[in-house]
Chain A
Amino acid sequence: MTAEEAVGRIRSGMTVGIGGWGSRRKPMALVRALLRSDVTDLTVVSFGGPDVGLLAAAGKIRRLVTAFATLDSIPLEPHFRAARERGEIELTELDEAMMMWGLTAAVHRLPFLPVRAGLGSDVMTVNPSLRTVTSPYEDGEELVAVPALRLDVALVHLNRADAQGNGQYLGPDPYFDDLFCEAAAEAYLSCERVVGTAEFADAGRPQTLLVKRHAVTGVIETPQGAHFTSCAPDYGRDEAFQSAYAKAAADPEAWREFTERFLSGDEERYRAAVAAFGKEGV
């Protein structure tokens, strides 16, 4: 299916999980499709990067569930920062481990999982709905009960997929994309290239087959679909473009120009504008 068709399945007010990590293998083409849609009022669950930044800049996030937002080589995500400082998004700030176990709880259809993380920290203060649970065994330890992070929709990007929804990552880290897909009612998997199932074996060992088709609703072929985040080994992060993004984000006029140039057309126009930007050698 197309990115537009995938995003067409998302309704305003839904809880959307976004795979990848920081500025690494984010489903940016699907995020750009979301920007072009009129979907809004979203609860976004993400290990935050420019996906969060772009959606925040477009005013599409009502509530964000995350442990951080970063561009990696640029420590602070500028649009996330601005949105927070203007008080525009509701934040559910969880520790990284709480995020992982919250998704895992949803995958296993459990109401919560116990973690030590969070105790004593202000994560407990800023999330007054968080509860603790006491071990029924002799240790009697009191732990945080991280609630399941159930998702209406998951969006992830992998290196390869077949048409049935089996997904293969070829980089060094799977991140948590399989958890996002399995924690969601519907998952949309974009990939650099759709291949025949028999071709998986040429690219990597069976353990690279991260996402299984039973957890995927639709497959979208989007070459450069993680741009400008990294998608190793197909390509690294576009640092020059990311710098331009961060610089533009700091100034409303520059951001209007950036939006006009890169985000006002479809994905094909985006790729053409990025190619032109690359030739400028800025």
Chain B
Amino acid sequence: MTGGVTRAEYCVVACAEAWRGDGEILAAPMGAVPRVGARLARLTFAPELLLTDGEAMIVGGDPEVVEGWLPYRAHLAMVTGGRRHVMMGASQLDRHGNQNITCVGDWKRPRRQLLGVRGAPVNTLNNPTSYWVPRHSRRVFVERVDMVCGVGYDRAAAVGPAARFHDLRCVVTDLAVLDFATPDHTLRVRSLHPGVTAEAVREATGFPLDIADHVPYTREPTPAELRLIREVIDPAGAREREVPS
């Protein structure tokens, strides 16, 4: 059954893995693939995770039922309490993990205005944060982001003790899984998705990237996981629209 695994399905499994071992915290996925991944994690190896319906309800159980209420104001308390692991998007991301979703170009008069800083500053200073990049490219992985919304390791180090909860876990892209497990907390490749070469990832990254010679491949989904993804969690194929085969 694993022969026909799509890239989107490897991405789903890689996102699910981000929440492995987190315990009883809120998984806050942003984007279709992370959402499928978070539900997959809870249905398999991380049953304690809390998940929302994307609005104000915490949904638990199988089949899902409302088990709690989390309007925005309570969600912000969950962030600052630290019992949450968010996976955000990134319009730009640099090698230290600084993330930008506000604008491209000079902030004073941007070449392209995007979403705005949203909760990226509060997230990155308070709870574990990962990133999801559906299209790994030099436009996203840049030497310097135009505005630091999500705080990277170099910026956090400069903040001092108030940044003691800063914790960037991983970056999942359509090509690879990356993390900051280097001595100076800069980005490196943890695994390549099957079919992706190290050269392809280097080519799509706008700064020198550490890739070990024998870097592993992202793990295969189990048959049970594939069935859950395809038949239970995402039968409409939202994952394929975000990462086309």
Contact = CB atoms under 8 A, between A and B. Distances in A.
Size class of B's contact patch?
A: 35 or more
B147 A172 contact: no
Contact of B112 (A85, A117, A172): A85
Nearest to A86: B109
Interface in A74-96: 75-76, 80-81, 84-85, 87, 93-96
Contacts of A122: 107, 147-149
A48 B117 CA distance: 12
Contact of B122 (A80, A117, A174): A117
Contacts of B125: 116-120
B121 interface: yes
Given A85-B111, A172-B71, A120 B119 contact: no
Interface string B98-115: 000011000111111111
Given A116-B122, A173-B56, A93 B116 contact: yes
B163 A173 contact: no
B156 A100 contact: no
Given A121-B117, A122-B147, A172-B71, A97 B122 contact: yes
B115 A173 contact: no
A126 B109 contact: no
A123 B116 CA distance: 11
B49 interface: no
A175 B108 CA distance: 29
Contacts of B103: 84
Interface residues of A, number: 42
A68 interface: yes
A142 B115 contact: no
Interface string B49-81: 000000111000000000001011100100110
B122 A115 contact: yes
A93 B48 CA distance: 36
A209 interface: no
Contacts of A100: 73, 76
Contact of A123 (B55, B76, B121, B163): B121
B155 A96 contact: no
A172 B73 CA distance: 12
A75 B69 CA distance: 25
A141 B119 CA distance: 21
A173 B113 CA distance: 28
The A interface is mostly helix, strand or loop, or mixed, namely loop
Interface string B137-160: 000000000011111000110111
A246 interface: no
A4 to B, nearest CB: 31
Interface string B72-97: 11001001100000000000000000
Nearest to A69: B116
Given A81-B113, A85-B113, A142-B160, A173 B71 contact: yes
Contact of B115 (A75, A94, A117, A119): A75
B129 interface: no
Given A70-B115, A97-B80, A120 B161 contact: no
A245 interface: no
B126 interface: yes
B132 to A, nearest CB: 14
Given A141-B162, A142-B162, A97 B107 contact: no
Interface in A171-229: 172-176
A115 to B, nearest CB: 7
B118 A176 contact: no
12 contacts: A67-B117, A81-B113, A85-B111, A85-B113, A96-B72, A117-B119, A118-B122, A120-B125, A121-B117, A121-B124, A172-B56, A173-B55
Given A68-B115, A121-B121, A123-B121, 6 more contacts: A75-B115, A98-B122, A117-B122, A123-B117, A140-B161, A173-B72
Enumerate the 8 nearest inter-chain pairs by beta-carbon distance, A residue then B residue, closest first. A68-B116, A117-B122, A84-B113, A172-B56, A120-B155, A97-B122, A120-B151, A95-B121
